[in-house]
Each structure stands twice: as C-alpha cells, then as structure tokens.
Amino acid sequence: MIEFIRGLPKAELHLHIEGTLEPQMAFDLAKRNGVALPYANVEALTQAYNFSDLQSFLNLYYACMDVLRRSEDFADLASAYLQRAAADGVQHVEMFFDPQAHVNRGIPLRVVIEGLSSAASAARERYGISVLLIACFLRDRPATEAMSTLEALAEHRDAIHGVGLDSAELGHPPSDFAEVFAAAGEMGLHRVAHAGEEGPPDYIWQALDVLGVERVDHGIRAAEDPALLRRLAVDKIPLTVCPLSNVRLKCVENLSDHPLPALLDAGVVVTVNSDDPAYFGGYVVDNYVALQRAFDLDTATLEQLARNSLDASFRGDVRGS
Ligand code: ADE
Ligand code: ZN
C-alpha cells in the first residue's frame, strides 16, 4: 500500500517549510551559525515534541527557527524537504513560509526568499518538481504589521505566488485581516487561510466571505456546520487537511475521530498534506497511509485524494509546470 500511495502523482498544498526542520538539522545549523538552542541535544529536543495544543507547538516551532540565519540555511532546509517530497511522488509544492517570524528577528526578507527560491530552482532541475511560494501572515501579530509585510513582499512580487494566514487561531479571526487580503488580491496574489483548525466554523465563513480565499487550510471544523459543508462542496473550495497534525495538536483525539469521512461524504474537495512534518511524525505519504489504515480507504479514494491535490493547486498559472 505504501508503494501504491508513493506512486500516486500528487501535490502538497499545506506545508510550512519551517516545519520541516528536523531535530538533527536544527543542531547542525545551530552549530554552523553559533546559535544556542534551549535543548541539550537531539533527544532532549525530540522529547519536547509532546504538544497539548496549537500554541504549545508554535512556542517550540518559533524557538527552533532561530537557527535559520543565512540564505544557505533556508536553501538547505528547503532542499532536504524537496528531495523527500520528490521521493514521495510529489510533483508540485505550494510552500508556506512565515516572513514575519524571520524579519522580526532581524533576518532580511531577501535572505529568506533567495534561499527558498534557489532550492526551488535546483529541485525543478533535479526532480522536475514545481514549487510556488505562499507567504503567510501571522494572525497573532497586528494587522498593520501584516500590511507592512505585504508591502515588503511587493518588492519580491515575481517570487511570491500567494498569501496565507497562520499561527495562533483562537481569538484572531480572519476578519481582522480583511484589508491586507483585499490589497493582496489587488496585487494578483492567490489567497488562502488557516481556518477551522482550532477555531470555530464561523472563522471558515469569514475566510470565504471576508478574505475571499480560494482554499481553506485545515477547515476540519466545517464538519460541525452542514450549511458550511454545502457551501464548500457547491463552490468547490478545497480543504488542505493535515491528519497527523490534527492528532498531534489534539484537534482530534484519535485519527479514527477525524472528520475526513464526513467531509468526503458531503462532497468536499479534500486534499492530504503534512503541515509541519518534522514535528508531527510524518511526511505526506505517512499522512495518506495513516488515513488509509484508520478508515480502510480503497484505492479509488486514495487516487481521488491525490488527484484533488493537483486540481486544487495553483500550478495551472505557471507556464511549463
Ligand atoms: N504554523 C505552522 N503550522 C501551523 C498550524 N498547524 N496552524 C497554524 N499555524 C501554523
Ligand atoms: Zn498549517
């Protein structure tokens, strides 16, 4: 079954590149850059991957990012992920990154974008994989900061394909970012947002109706709202679902409680993704395999999920991809 899943042509549409920082690479980069990590060794860091909710994960995720200092660091991080993704049958990646998490600790935006873009070009040459960059705004930072970030991104317009919204969801509704998403739309950028991961179905409605998103990241709490399920199905708004993440962050208790079957039954376009694979115990194929085992998915459903990921991607915009 693993080989069947690996062989399915697929896209990964919900992947935070900073969330691919494996513990060993974190220590290697810490050494290279003379940065002290607040953990004694790889084992101690790995032991800390015992999250109680989204915020407990984000605290560690932002702390580990401190090892990313130079363009080479971002390039090495992205190259390691893309090599793995290509081996997993991923043909196309829409790669999230968090500009504010780097700029706010003194790393120029140019350094981040140059590193990621160079890894993307190398991976296209080596594996034929295509990569689009999506810059996510941190929703637990002020909307004014998101707007200045968008202005800074405008200077790298050619390298950026879309914008997203991530970080701590509860208490930070999408509507706070109406203006910045409207401005991004005027720049011709694609729009996506995390909504309904921990937050209520109303945040998904806001992402659709206020931010005008084309895809919803996670969106699992849509399963609580039949009218919302109908809206997603009728308008063919894809959800980028990340099952292992949902279990690790305790959005669902067990994988068997995951709303995937309800979403599929409602006719929603579901895609399978890894979110932050280094932290959540699996890359994209591991997520498919876990779902297959939990719900005894047949090969036609697995093929449909993989096809959905390619159909829901923005790659049709790019000539030759
Ligand atoms: N940033 C990285 N991973 C995230 C997630 N699962 N939810 C919100 N923000 C994130
Ligand atoms: Zn995410």
Q: Residues in the chain, how many? A: 321
Taking the C-alpha atoms of residue 168 and residue 125, their distance in angstroms, rounded to an integer, is 36
- Ligand 1 pocket: which residues have CB below 6 Å? 16, 19, 54, 61, 166-167, 194, 197, 245, 275-276
For residue 74, give the nearest of 34, 43, 32, 104 by alpha carbon.
32
As assigned by CATH, the class of the 2-311 domain is alpha beta
Q: How many CB atoms lie within 10 A of CB 158?
A: 8
Hey, is 283 helix, strand or coil? coil
Ligand 1 closest atom vs CA 276: 3
Give residue 286's Cα distance to chain centre.
16
Q: Residue ranges per domain, the chain?
A: 2-311
Q: Which of 18, 51, 166 to mutate to test the pocket of ligand 1 (most atoms within 8 A of CB)?
A: 166
Q: Which of 17, 55, 58 to mutate to test the pocket of ligand 1 (most atoms within 8 A of CB)?
A: 58
Yes or no: say if 246 and 320 are a contact pair by the CB < 8 Å rule. Answer: no
Main-chain dihedrals φ then ψ at residue 291, nearest 5 degrees: -65, -40
- The reply to whether 197 belongs to the active site is yes
Supply the DSSP string of 105-148, one letter for each residue: TT--HHHHHHHHHHHHHHHHHHH--EEEEEEEEETTS-HHHHHH
H or E, element range at 239: strand 239-241
Ligand 2 center to 223 CA (angstroms):
18
Ligand 2 center to 68 CA (angstroms):
19
Tokens for 75?
């390039």
Hey, whose CA ends up nearest to atom 9 of ligand 1?
A: 167
Residue-level pLDDT at 320: 44
Ligand 1 closest atom vs CA 19: 2
Q: For the chain, 321 residues long, give each residue's pLDDT as a single digit of tens.
A: 999 999 999 999 999 999 999 999 999 999 999 999 999 999 999 999 999 999 999 999 999 999 999 999 999 999 999 999 999 999 999 999 999 999 999 999 999 999 999 999 999 999 999 999 999 999 999 999 999 999 999 999 999 999 999 999 999 999 999 999 999 999 999 999 999 999 999 999 999 999 999 999 999 999 999 999 999 999 999 999 999 999 999 999 999 999 999 999 999 999 999 999 999 999 999 999 999 999 999 999 999 999 999 999 999 875 444
Give residue 4's Cα distance to chain centre.
24
Residue-level pLDDT at 317: 77
For residue 64, give the nearest of 279, 310, 295, 317 by alpha carbon.
279
Q: How many CB atoms lie within 10 A of CB 143?
A: 16
The identity of residue 257, as a single letter, is: D
Report how far apart the first and last C-alpha atoms of the chain are (Å, whole number).
Answer: 28
Counting ligands in written order, the one closest to the CA of 61 is 1
Ligand 1 center to 111 CA (angstroms):
22
Ligand 2 center to 43 CA (angstroms):
25
Taking the C-alpha atoms of residue 107 and residue 113, their distance in angstroms, rounded to an integer, is 11
CA count, 13 A, side-chain hemisphere, 120: 20
- Whole-model pTM? 0.98
Tokens for 309?
């990921």
Taking the C-alpha atoms of residue 278 and residue 280, their distance in angstroms, rounded to an integer, is 6
Residue-level pLDDT at 318: 59
What angle do helix axes 284-295 and 299-311 make, rounded to 10 degrees? Answer: 140
Residue-level pLDDT at 319: 47
The identity of residue 94, as a single letter, is: E
